[in-house]
Amino acid sequence: MVNKLRRELTPKQERVLRVLEGFVFERGYAPTVRELGTLLGIASPSAVFKHLTSLERKGFLKRDKGEVHLPGAPSFFESRVRVPLAGQVAAGSPREAFDVSGEAMDVPIWMVGRRRGNLFCIQVDGKSMIDAYIDHGDRVLLERTNTARSGEMVVAQLEDGSVTLKRLRQEEGRTFLVPENPAFQPIEVKEARILGRVVGVLRKY
């Protein structure tokens, strides 16, 4: 039956499904539309979405609240844990401080791993990390830490107390907080207090 159904797919749909299956079984979660488009070399999100709709109509996947499920894939999304939501953090110009929300949100347990109890979420305000697939309104899962390696995405507090989400870059004794959007400039800092390291991104479409 599966082989018969696969013959009903167009070559493009077959390729989309193959790439999607490989991503899910390797990483344990489905890619975003942007990520899938990048892997396929398709620039238009609407074209990617059209392929996903066709695959869903033919029974090769299911979509539920923005999450893609493949038949036969492990049920990664069934078990969840509650993680504190710290509030909004600027992905643009640094903001004075966290907006403390006092709320919490459900996070798939596979994203938590051994870090349970040492995680928090923020909501992104701004588009300075858009090329890292972190958009305005996304919720980012972070591990509490005061250290990070060069190249990791972090939430950092600057000397003036402002807080921002950027990629940490250290080179030749200099430290930069680097955006992932050419419209924004890197911030060179003498000292930045690391508040958390990015673990994952949660998004609904």
Domain containing residue 57: CATH number: 1.10.10.10
Q: Judge if 93 and 192 occupy the same domain.
A: yes
CA distance 26 to 15: 16
Q: Judge if 99 and 128 occupy the same domain.
A: yes
Domain interval for residue 173? 80-202
Q: Judge if 63 and 101 occupy the same domain.
A: no
- Residue 90 or 55, more confident: 55
pLDDT digit string (tens) for 87-137? 778 777 776 556 555 677 777 776 776 666 688 898 898 999 999 999 998
Structural domain count, the chain: 2
Q: Judge if 114 and 165 occupy the same domain.
A: yes
CA distance 16 to 11: 9
User: Is residue 20 within 8 Å of residue 33, measured between CB atoms?
Assistant: no
Quick check: is 75 in a domain? no
Quick check: is 99 in a domain? yes
What token pair was written down for 75?
Answer: 């049920």
- Residue 76 or 13, more confident: 13
Quick check: is 95 in a domain? yes
* 25 band by pLDDT with thresholds 50, 70 and 90: low
Q: Judge if 96 and 38 occupy the same domain.
A: no
Among residues 41, 69, 97, the one where a domain terminates is 69
Mean pLDDT, rounded, for 22-39 = 79
pLDDT digit string (tens) for 159-176? 888 889 999 999 888 999
User: Is residue 183 within 8 Å of residue 196, measured between CB atoms?
Assistant: no
Q: Judge if 165 and 197 occupy the same domain.
A: yes
**Active-site amino acid positions:** 128, 166
The strand pair at 119-125 and 80-90 is best described as: parallel
CA distance 164 to 192: 10
Among residues 69, 101, 126, the one where a domain terminates is 69
Q: What is the 3-state secondary structure (H, E, C) of the chain?
A: CHHHHHHCCCHHHHHHHHHHHHHHHHHCCCCCHHHHHHHHCCCCHHHHHHHHHHHHHCCCCEEECCEEECCCCCCCCCCEEEEEEEEEEECCCCECCCCCCCEEEEEEHHHHHHHCCCEEEEEEECCCCHHHCCCCCCEEEEEECCCCCCCCEEEEECCCCCEEEEEEEEECCEEEEECCCCCCCCEEECCCEEEEEEEEEECCC
